Amino acid sequence: MASFILTPKKVNAVHELIDDKLIRAGVKKVMIIDEAGNIITECGHDPAITDPTALAALTAANFGATAQIARLIGEEDFTLLFHKGENSSMYFLRLDEELIMLSIFSDEVSLGLIRCRADELLTPVKNILKGSDNGIN
Amino acid sequence: MALIDLGKREIHCKIVYYGPGRCGKTTNLIYIHHAMTPKARGKMVTIDTKGDRTLFFDLLPLHLGSVRDFDIRIQLYTVPGQIMYEATRKLVLKGVDGIVFVADPLLVRRQRNKDSLAGLSNNLAELGVKLAEIPIVLQYNKRDLTESEIPTLGVSELSSDLNSELQAPEFTATATLGEGVFESLRAISKLTVHQVAEKNRLLD
Ligand SMILES: Nc1nc2c(ncn2[C@@H]2O[C@H](COP(=O)(O)OP(=O)(O)OP(=O)(O)O)[C@@H](O)[C@H]2O)c(=O)[nH]1
Ligand SMILES: [Mg+2]
């Protein structure tokens, strides 16, 4: 199976975009994970998250399970998921077959804004992470 | 799918414990969790059904030191072995880099072992991976039962049932006592990290 290669250049470029669009808009934490449950990169800080590894693994599994549910109603996949909590909510967006972006935010930030900003990030973030610069010769 | 972080100098690999229901996959992870220092392992995540059957998966993150100047981080997963959870097994296999196939020596489970291995091969094929090309070790578990009165399979029978084509490294184990658990883990970690490093020419 192919490996995913992350270079400092890719990480910095993605962080800059996410900081600008989401963290500065009040989102507590943004994580990009792959379907294997690896954390590709994370931005921001939420003291409530003490076990990001488990969070990533369960998110990947949850997304996989939801895709199966989608097929049972004749859909290919659900490209976004939203979990509403009392203090924190989560918004999950599929970037491509392998990558998922999750944002954790309080009720002071509107879901509409997150949706909008996350959509704007989808293509540039995917292009940076999947770009051919893998830093290995 | 291994993740190689060149900035942090980390290699992340996913190893999945696969095998029929009740063969002892979760028991392997529980033993590893207890035996390793908190520094070398993360929290274990378990999603149980009623009793001790795995519903979705178990996860145990490990920190296995370094190879050259890369930190090796391994995520151990188990699949749910019960027959009805095929879709879940396929999900857990996504992005797998190495496999420990745990076999049950109970004579009554002979066909279950073979079916489970065939299922593994099919599920991998659907993910575009060939069983013959992925690092795998076989663990013949519950060796303590061979001394009881319950009818069990010998190592050579298990080997000819499961390993005549694969020719993978084999280990005997009694996971409840921890015997063979680290031998299997060490072997699969080595094979897996080696393959990931080789494919990406990290150690040249
Ligand atoms: N005698 C004996 N019992 C074992 C051994 N390893 C596991 N068991 C027992 O077998 C039962 C099932 O073990 P689990 O580790 O839960 O099995 P599993 O493969 O995770 O099962 P599923 O989650 O249903 O797929 C438990 O009661 C264990 O204590 C062993 O080496 N010897
Ligand atoms: Mg289990």
- Looking at residue B56, which CATH number applies to its domain? 3.40.50.300
* Residue B30 near chain A (CB below 8 Å): no
B86 and B55 in contact (C-beta within 8 Å)? no
The verdict on a CB contact (< 8 Å) between A68 and B91 is yes
Give pLDDT tens digits for B35-68: 999 999 999 988 766 667 877 889 999 999 998 8
Dist CA B177 CA B174 (whole Å): 6
* Residue A87 near chain B (CB below 8 Å): no
Dist CA B40 CA B70 (whole Å): 15
Give pLDDT tens digits for B164-178: 999 999 999 999 999
To probe the interface with B, which of A12, A33, A38 has the most B CB atoms within 10 Å?
A38
Q: Which pTM does this prediction carry?
A: 0.92
Domains and CATH numbers, chain A: 8-131 (3.30.450.30)
Whether pLDDT at A60 is above 70: yes
Q: Is residue B201 part of a domain?
A: no
Number of independent structural domains in chain B: 1
- Ligand 1 atom 29, closest CA: B176
Domain coverage including residue B129: 3-195
The residue type found at A5 is I
Q: Is residue B47 part of a domain?
A: yes
Minimal-distance CA residue of chain A relative to B45: A54
Q: Is residue B66 part of a domain?
A: yes
The verdict on a CB contact (< 8 Å) between B95 and A1 is yes
- Show residues of chain B in contact with A6, CB under 8 Å: 3-7
Please give the ipTM for the structure prediction. Answer: 0.82
* Residue B1 near chain A (CB below 8 Å): yes
Q: Tokens 């020719």 identify what position? A: B167
Sequence-separated (6 or more) residues with CB below 8 Å from residue B149: none
Q: Is residue B53 part of a domain?
A: yes
Nearest to B7 among A7, A57, A68 (CB): A7
